[in-house]
Amino acid sequence: MLGLGIRRMRLYRGWTQEMLRDRSGVDQSIVSRLELGREVQMRLRRFLDLLGALDVGEVVLLPSTDDGPSSSVDELFERGRWSNADERARREIEGMLNRRRSA
């Protein structure tokens, strides 16, 4: 969940993982594992460095539901650059996980 949020923000900014590394000081391999939902042992300070580099204003945690969008935040994700970044992040993660499973 958090990794998908990091990926969304990174793609929204138009950055590569390397660019996020340069701006946050967090190693690219950690960024990659975090975005993929892999277990990452990371100090809170380093996570806050990522959020600061991405200029995150607020973190919103929402309950998941089986019947669709749960708030107006979901409507935001369905429009414009957010929608594109979200879709791209999900496709990239699915592709990477599929390649790893088949290797």
CATH code (residue 64): 1.10.260.40
Higher pLDDT, 84 or 73: 84
pLDDT at 16 over 60: yes
User: Taking the model in full, what pTM does it have?
Assistant: 0.64
Contact 61, 30 (CB under 8 A): no
pLDDT for the residue 98: 87
The fraction of the chain above a pLDDT of 70, given in percent, is 77
Counted domains in the chain: 1
**Average pLDDT score over residue span 69-85:** 60
* Residue-range definition of the domain harbouring residue 16: 2-102
Contact 34, 2 (CB under 8 A): yes
66 in helix, strand or coil? Answer: coil
Buried b (16+ CB within 10 A) or exposed e, 49-70: bbbebbeeeeeeeeeeeeeeee
- Nearest CA-CA partner of 26 in 1, 9, 43: 43
pLDDT at 14 over 90: yes
